Amino acid sequence: MKRLVFSLASILIAVTSLTAQAAGDAAAGERKAAVCAACHGADGNSAIGSNPKLAGQNERYLLKQMHDVKSGARPIAMMTGLLDNLSEQDLADIAAFYASKVVTVNGANPDLIETGERIYRAGVEELGIAACSACHAPTGSGVAQAGFPALGGQHAEYISTQMKAFRAGTRNNDGDPAPMRIIAERLTDAEIEALANYVSGLH
């Protein structure tokens, strides 16, 4: 199909290019993540909607995002310089710490659930958008081995902001197949809001 957004095969090929990660130590990571608590919460469950929850996120995804922030591939003003002096082992330990925690689930607005669920579980065929569940799992737990992030329980505000950033091209660290940029550019603001709302209550 001409309008097919991407194939799972192309994403899996891209995943193989990710660098091997060191084994993380969650106990050591708890100490090293102390400075992160101000924005992400002591256990990775941030209290502010604009700051992502890191609790329960898979290690591979967390490690990639920290690499991208450190290298500048994913610029986040509030994190400028915070990772500069951390070693590969430090990053792996922090990732292991957050992965060991349990994400809290938010309540979702019932008025938006139907649209959000439809997009998440079935995609939008006429726009060539595949189901989000194909990469992020039906429960929103992600696919840890492939480095596809968990989304269930994440703040709706954060999900919405990131989707719009992918759409605008101000966030572009989703790899060469650009699945998130392609999907986001085909969704309206209302569809993004509904999807983000659904994900925030998914577990």
| Phi and psi torsions of 67, nearest 5° | -60, -45
Residues 28-56: what's their mean pLDDT? 97
Residue 203 has a pLDDT of 86
Predicted TM-score (pTM) of this structure: 0.88
> How far apart (Å, rounded) are the C-alpha atoms in residues 112 and 122?
16
* pLDDT over 50 (residue 18): no
* pLDDT over 70 (residue 15): no
Residues constituting the chain: 203
pLDDT interval class at 107 (50, 70, 90): confident
Residues 136-160: what's their mean pLDDT? 97
What tokens were used for 120?
């998440």
**Amino acid found at 26:** A
* Domains of the chain, each with CATH number or no CATH: 8-13+105-200 (1.10.760.10), 20-99 (1.10.760.10)
pLDDT interval class at 147 (50, 70, 90): very high
Which letter does DSSP use for residue 169 in this model? Answer: T
> How far apart (Å, rounded) are the C-alpha atoms in residues 24 and 61?
13
Nearest to 60 by CA among 101, 15, 102: 15
> How far apart (Å, rounded) are the C-alpha atoms in residues 200 and 159?
8
> How far apart (Å, rounded) are the C-alpha atoms in residues 5 and 172?
16
Tell me which of 100 and 10 has the higher pLDDT: 100
Ramachandran class of 20: left when φ > 0, alpha when ψ lies in -120 to 50, beta otherwise: beta
pLDDT interval class at 135 (50, 70, 90): very high
